[in-house]
């Protein structure tokens, strides 16, 4: 549960980047009928999320029930949404709603638009985050090999832009992809993500940077554990043993710092 909340927090922070301000659409304007501005959808979903998370904290509902209720609310907001009227610069915002609603096929289409737009506008933050979300959407549809190849495209990220990679690969892509015939490739993807995580540079003068450094051993340890597990379950005992040795060496070096 703690790991899940961390990834929600990370993506929640990313979702705030690039928020637009201005006049909200007039619900009586025929030109706006049937489509909600992304900031309106995001605000309504956040309100629902905050309310439901309080119920989770009070153990009134389970995590699974939280996800189901959020999906239901997102589906309500998506009613009659004209997908062909969405601008490319807003595609990532609507994709978040589609992901929440578990409309993985539509989310994939929207995220492809978002990634192409990020590349065109040279927005590295959006390229990395939206590519990772695209990989997750593909894995959720059983397109595991394609999802892994999609995720590999972010391994060229700069050290200052690599922070989202390991959490996304470990906590979203791996659970959606493992056990579906490509565990060896998934183990390699995780190792690559660990390397990017270790090379990530953050501003230690910020709270976010400090939190990243403090949490890094935890995420790296969990990621290595999954790598070893994936190799072992694939019958690759030698690779599992070698991965365990690499993990111990890396974690020991982190403790000495």
112-156: pLDDT as tens digits:
999 999 999 999 999 999 999 999 999 999 999 999 999 999 999
pLDDT in tens, 187-196: 999 999 999 9
In degrees and rounded to multiples of 5, residue 3 shows phi and psi of -65, -40
Res 252 pLDDT > 60: yes
Contact 45, 97 (CB under 8 A): yes
pLDDT in tens, 42-87: 788 888 889 988 998 989 999 889 888 988 888 887 775 666 678 8
pLDDT band (50, 70, 90) for residue 35: low
**Can you give the pLDDT at residue 78?**
73
Res 10 pLDDT > 50: no
173: tokens are 């892509």
Res 20 pLDDT > 90: no
91-118 as b/e: b if 16+ CB within 10 A: bbbbbbbbbbbbbbebbbbbbbbbbebb
Q: How far is CA 253 from CA 228, 246, 248, in A?
A: 19, 11, 9
Give Cα 124 to chain centroid, integer Å: 15
pLDDT band (50, 70, 90) for residue 245: very high
Res 2 pLDDT > 50: no
Res 19 pLDDT > 50: no
Res 1 pLDDT > 50: no
Class of domain 123-257: mainly alpha
**Can you give the pLDDT at residue 5?**
45
Higher pLDDT, 161 or 64: 161
**Can you give the pLDDT at residue 81?**
62
Give Cα 45 to chain centroid, integer Å: 17
What global pTM score does this model have?
Answer: 0.78
Res 240 pLDDT > 70: yes
In the chain, ranges of CATH 1.25.40 domains: 123-257
Candidates 41, 43, 44, 53; CA nearest to 8 is 53
């Amino acid at each position: 549960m703690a790991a899940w909340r961390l990834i929600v927090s990370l993506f929640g922070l990313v979702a705030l980047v690039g928020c637009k301000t201005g006049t909200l659409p007039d619900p009586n304007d025929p030109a706006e009928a049937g489509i909600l501005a992304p900031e309106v959808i995001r605000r309504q979903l956040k309100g629902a999320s905050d309310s439901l998370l309080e119920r989770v904290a009070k153990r009134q509902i389970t995590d699974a029930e939280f996800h189901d209720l959020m999906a239901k609310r997102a589906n309500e907001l998506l009613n009659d949404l004209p997908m062909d009227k969405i601008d490319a610069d807003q595609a990532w915002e609507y994709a978040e709603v589609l992901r929440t609603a578990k409309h993985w096929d539509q989310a994939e289409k929207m995220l492809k638009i978002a990634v192409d737009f990020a590349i065109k506008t040279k927005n590295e933050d959006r390229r990395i985050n939206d590519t990772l979300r695209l990989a997750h959407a593909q894995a959720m549809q059983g397109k595991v090999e394609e999802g892994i190849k999609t995720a590999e495209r972010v391994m060229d990220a700069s050290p200052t832009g690599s922070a989202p990679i390991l959490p996304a690969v470990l906590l979203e892509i791996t659970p959606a992809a493992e056990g579906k015939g490509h565990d060896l490739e998934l183990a390699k993807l995780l190792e690559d993500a660990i390397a990017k995580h270790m090379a990530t540079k953050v501003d230690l003068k910020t709270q976010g940077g400090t939190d990243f450094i403090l949490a890094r051993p935890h995420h790296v340890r969990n990621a290595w554990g999954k790598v070893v597990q994936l190799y072992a379950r694939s019958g690759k005992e030698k690779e599992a043993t070698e991965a365990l040795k690499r993990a111990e060496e890396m974690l020991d070096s982190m403790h000495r710092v």
